[in-house]
Amino acid sequence: MSDKAAPAAAAGGSRAGMKKELPERFRDYKHVWVLIEMERGVVHPVSWELLGEGRKLADKLGVELAGALLAGPGDASTKAIEEAFSYGADLVYLMEDPLLADYRNQPYAAAMTDLVNTFKPEILLMGATNLGRDLAGTVATTLATGLTADCTELAIDHEGSLAATRPTFGGTLLCTIHTLNFRPQMATIRPRVMAMPEAQEGRTGRVVRHSLVMAESDIITKILDFIPDANMDKAQLAYADIVVAGGMGLGRPENFKLVTDLAQVLGAEYGCSRPVVQKGWMPAERQIGQTGKTIRPRLYIAAGISGAIQHRVGVEGSDIVLAINTDPNATIFEFAHMGIVGDALQILPALTEAFRRRLAVNRLAG
């Protein structure tokens, strides 16, 4: 969501025609913040990925990088703060309260809004997780500021504003959005879109504590019980080292056994493109791309996938992309590191057998 989008388009239709006129009340907003997303004592890795990206933005602006941690009392906060410093934070704003022990939109939004209004960051980044998406929308609405969701790239423009790039029109185009006249500039980024930074052990920083002014009686929702997601350990595409995926080029749902067979031999995760999920051939948790999972494996094998932009932005962080397609002009060959022009129904079984033999020889040699 960009502020004043329609008038800006009428005035010039481009960034050049938009004028940054930051009101006086926002001119003392400084520094880059990242929400440290912690649930039940565990920090989501996207928090560290965003600290790595936030460090680049803060250095470009010449300001500090801060983490914002909302949590219940306990040792988990201390550990999370230490990790935040190791991943680049200069300071951490900490709100500890029993009401923040479990995520609920109302107390978390009130806490984050109070932190922002008190300490005034110019940029606020959150992970595009279930929690982050729910919280970011509420906070942006409460603060009456702009929010760009599911970004694939962040930069600082020549005027010192955040330039947030995301896919649009169903993933067919990329657009860059600016929040020119409001603060903070907010963005959410999906897990694995940004690279995990290298931790710097022994790095330290400051902790700024702030109190939550709220009582349990003020909160509409109540925590009755915690039931873990039964599927949480099934599909781990985002953090897999090797991923094998199939697209509509495989022709029929039963042919996806060729994908799972190769994945099993390689000890890999398996996935698919969006049209496959839309056809009902695979569950949504296996979808790769902007509207599915973003992956950064060492090896990504894509069989029968055309390579539409919404798929590309979900896989371009892969170290090696191997594409298999019968169409030599398929878009996926434009960004694949290696390509095989041929029928995936023949090539996948051949690869599976070749890897099975090679890995068997390696085990015997070892």
CA distance 125 to 314: 19
DSSP state of 293: B
Q: Tell whether 241 and 206 lie within a shared domain.
A: no
Q: Tell whether 61 and 95 lie within a shared domain.
A: yes
In this structure, is residue 226 part of a structural domain? no
Choice between 130 and 173, residue whose per-residue pLDDT is larger: 130
Determine if the pTM surpasses 0.85: no
Q: Tell whether 72 and 150 lie within a shared domain.
A: yes
Q: Tell whether 241 and 330 lie within a shared domain.
A: yes
Percent of the chain exceeding pLDDT 90 equals 79
| Whether the Cβ atoms of residue 43 and residue 37 lie closer than 8 Å to each other | yes
In this structure, is residue 227 part of a structural domain? no
Using alpha carbons, select from 237, 246, 244, 242 the residue that is nearest to residue 305.
246
In this structure, is residue 133 part of a structural domain? yes
pLDDT (0 to 100) of residue 336? 96
6 pLDDT higher than 80: no
pLDDT (0 to 100) of residue 250? 97
Instruction: Provide mean pLDDT across the span 343-348.
Output: 96
Domain that holds residue 333: 233-365
- According to DSSP, the β-strands at 42-43 and 38-39 are antiparallel
SS3 state at 336: coil
In this structure, is residue 224 part of a structural domain? no
179 pLDDT higher than 90: yes
Q: Where residue 68 sits, what CATH number does that domain have?
A: 3.40.50.620
Q: Tell whether 214 and 237 lie within a shared domain.
A: no
16 pLDDT higher than 60: no
77 pLDDT higher than 80: yes
pLDDT (0 to 100) of residue 365? 66
Four-CA torsion 126, 127, 130, 134, nearest 10 degrees? 20
Q: Where residue 309 sits, what CATH number does that domain have?
A: 3.40.50.1220
70 pLDDT higher than 80: yes
Place of tokens 């697209």: 247
Residue 34 burial (CB count, 10 A): 34
14 pLDDT higher than 60: no
pLDDT (0 to 100) of residue 230? 63
Peptide bond just before 121 cis, omega within 30 deg: no
Structure-token pair, residue 203? 């790095």
pLDDT tens for 226-246 read 887 665 556 688 889 999 999
pLDDT (0 to 100) of residue 164? 96
pLDDT tens for 101-120 read 999 999 999 999 999 999 99
pLDDT (0 to 100) of residue 64? 98
Q: Total structural domains in the chain? A: 2
Structure-token pair, residue 242? 């090797």
Domain boundary among 186, 218, 250: 218
In this structure, is residue 228 part of a structural domain? no
DSSP state of 47: H
Instruction: Provide mean pLDDT across the span 279-304.
Output: 93
